[in-house]
Structure 1
């Protein structure tokens, strides 16, 4: 089927990658992501699986090649594996180039076989420490053993794993080399991520910020770290670390929304679990796709909403963390919504 709508923004970037959140709920309460007593949305506000599937098929028809399911924690939503199986049919038919998932890994052990059967070939697993007590502190009660068991089960099912690690000045900065070595030795890529200013109620974020430029300089003081031109459709810039197995194909990715803007190649958008389309993670402008799905049986409303959204995609984001020593060429801004609502 020919595309219904050419997803090209005002700067000539073709949008081929969508991150689709299926829930704002999570079984962890990571300190940099949400408050300890987080309030979640009522179920009626979320897109149903029928609506999520209809929207996904429309996006695929419009030229989206890669679809990443996010949350919250996507695997906590009841019925998610059936939805993933239906999307997997688009992979098996060749209409969707890649279906992926971002998860905290706590429920991955039981889900891994079904994910592999659906055609998922790689998964991002968020894990900010390999020390059980530190992991428990960062996640406010999480069990590292469940995450490690999930990683092992996914690898046994033939799924490639990338670890996502938020660099935290007070909690895990000294541990980052150990995490990189652990991941690379087990055939996993690892991406380090700067803390992002999402969510007004999250306190202490400025004190946790660490520039990955500084982390990279630290790593290069004792490792050979070389940049590589690899790209996976995401925001990471990749490196190989010879001492940790990088010569065998594993990589270190750096995601630097604050210290090193990566917007010039941005080809992705985010859709929240409530159907709000954000063309930029760092801005508040959005388009309501839920109304388009619920108020009209055809796709004309979705077409109009996406055309409006394409005009809203900015050249660069407005992320800002006060007192971080960063000189950004954009106005200071910190979106009030949390990452769990937006979709990771």
Structure 2
């Protein structure tokens, strides 16, 4: 069993397989990328898998694959199959913008993927194009449909932005309700890579918008999810991710690994260590020792709420 320095069980590993993305979303990476990590500097799937095995053997029960946009990396279904075949009851999930899903959703499901988080910030083509700086909506909706047909469990992620998609929050709820999808609204996380002047909404403001149409009540937190959930009169449950708070940190059960081998103990905490050299040298004992040290020094809570400064974290590297 993996535990951090505060006695919390860590059983959730998020693995970024690429920092590249085919969108330029205003809240994440709006401009043409400055410089990508060369492909040869990334860990191969086989190398990532060696570390994932260490984590699974240590008690990790959930692995989420992220990016960037993870579907941009060739052979992702083979990587998923490696993990699934090593432990077939692992909770294996993927976060994606959905654009490439139409052609690969069934392959991912066949490989052992169980769940998808799909970004959907608008149901209007012109608004979706404004957010992603690319004509995307028709293809993303086809991707969602393909994932549903493949039997994958779907959760929708939406980032409400002032003056952009704020009039659509209730429409997105209806889209998800009628299809049986969960939805989580995510507070905009200020960062150096977002478009200058981009502004989001906090949880209270999001709730105020939804209250114009729905009645709902706050649910007690359970488990380790960072989502604060709310239940409507008809029983539908939606969530809001509130990164500017730290009340979910007490139950934090996750660590993150980037495609270049950097092990990150907390999304809002700059300290990290690299396992790249150890893995490249096939020194599993060394990689395991680094993992234990990272866990020992995992912070008790995030620092986001301490000063509300703009983060220097590149979320396209860590997958959010």
Write out per-residue CA displacement over residues 56-102 of structure 1, whole angstroms, 9 at most, x where no aligned residue.
1111111110000000011110111111122121342x3x2x00000
> Who is 2:10 aligned against?
15
Cα distance in 2 between the residues matched to 1:145 and 1:91 = 36
* Count of residue pairs brought into register by the alignment: 319
Shift of residue 229, structure 1, vs aligned partner: 4.6
How big is each residue's C-alpha offset from its partner over 1:249-289, in whole Å with a ceiling of 9 and x where there is no partner? Answer: x4211100115642121111111111101111001100111
- The answer as to whether partners of 1:24 and 1:73 remain within 8 angstroms in 2 is yes
- Decide which moves more: 279-288 or 112-121: 112-121
Alignment correspondent of 1:337: 313
CA distance in 2, matches of 1:230, 1:89: 33
Q: Which residue of 2 aligns with 1:214?
A: 205
Shift of 1:142: 3.5
TM-score normalised by the chain length of structure 2: 0.94
Where structure 1 has 5 or more consecutive residues not aligned to the other structure, the ranges are 1-5, 320-327
CA distance in 1, matches of 2:3, 2:294: 10
Distance 2:22 2:249 in 1: 31
2:146 aligned with 1:153: yes
In 2, Cα distance between the equivalents of 1:214 and 1:260? 18
CA contact (8 A) 1:219 1:225 kept: no
Give 1:212 shift: 1.4
80-89 vs 104-113, which moves further: 80-89
Structure-to-structure mapping, 1:158-307, within 5 angstroms: 158-198=151-191, 200-204=192-196, 207-229=198-220, 233-242=224-233, 246-247=234-235, 250-259=236-245, 261-295=247-281, 297-307=282-292
Report matched runs for 1:63-74 at 5 Å. Answer: 63-74=59-70
Q: Could you tell me whether the CA contact under 8 Å between 1:21 and 1:74 is conserved in 2? A: yes
Alpha-carbon offset, residue 226 of structure 1: 2.4
Tell me the distance in 2 between the aligned counterparts of 1:331 and 1:231.
27
Q: Is the 8 A contact 1:29 1:139 kept in 2?
A: yes
The 3-state SS of whatever aligns with 1:115 is helix
Distance 1:144 1:195 in 2: 21
Instruction: Give the aligned CA root-mean-square deviation in angstroms.
Output: 1.8
Q: 1:34 aligns with which of 29, 32, 37?
A: 29
Rounded to whole Å, the distance in 2 between the matches of 1:336 and 1:67 is 25
> Could you say which structure has the greater relative contact order, defined with CA pairs below 8 angstroms and 6 or more residues apart?
2
Whole-Å Cα distance in 1 between the matches of residues 183 and 173 of structure 2? 6
**Gap change, CA 1:255 and 1:231, over 3 Å in 2:** same
Which residue of structure 2 lines up, in the alignment, with residue 102 of structure 1?
A: 95
So what's the TM-score if we normalise by structure 1?
0.87
